[in-house]
Amino acid sequence: MSRKVNKSANTSQPNLRPAASTASPPRGKTSPLPGSPDTLLVDTEKFTKAELLSELREEISALFKKELTAAFAENLTSIRSDIQQLKTDLSSDITTMRQEFAGLRSTVTEMEQSLSTCTDDIVHLQAKVDAMSKELAKLENKCEDLESRSRRNNIRIVGVPEENVLSATDVSVLLMEAFQLGKEPLVDRAHRTLAPKPNIGERPRAMVVKLHYYADCARILQKARELQRVQINNMTISVFPDHTAKTARARAAFNEVRRQLRGIQGVRFGILYPARLRITYQGMQRDFVSPEEAKEYIKTITTR
CATH classification code of 152-242: 3.30.70.1820
CA–CA dist 168, 210 (Å, integer): 9
Alpha helices in 151-269 (DSSP H): 168-179, 214-227, 245-252, 255-262
pLDDT at residue 62 above 90?
no
CA–CA dist 181, 252 (Å, integer): 30
CA–CA dist 270, 288 (Å, integer): 11
CA–CA dist 147, 170 (Å, integer): 27
Of how many residues is the chain composed? Answer: 304
Lowest mean pLDDT among 40-49, 98-107, 199-208: 40-49
> Which pLDDT belongs to residue 160?
92
Cα–Cα distance list, 18 to 23, 35, 109 (Å): 8, 21, 116
Instruction: Name the pLDDT band for 153 (thresholds 50, 70, 90).
Output: very high
Mapping DSSP onto H, E and C, the string for 275-292 reads CEEEEEECCEEEEECCHH
CA–CA dist 97, 126 (Å, integer): 41
Instruction: Name the pLDDT band for 17 (thresholds 50, 70, 90).
Output: very low
> Which pLDDT belongs to residue 145?
92
pLDDT in tens, 155-201: 999 999 988 888 999 999 999 999 999 899 999 999 999 889 898 88
Between 40 and 93, name the one with better pLDDT.
Answer: 93
CA–CA dist 261, 251 (Å, integer): 15
Q: Is the pTM here over 0.95, yes or no? A: no
User: Which strands, in side-by-side order, build the sheet including 267-272?
Assistant: 267-272, 276-281, 284-288
The ranges assigned to domains in the chain are 152-242
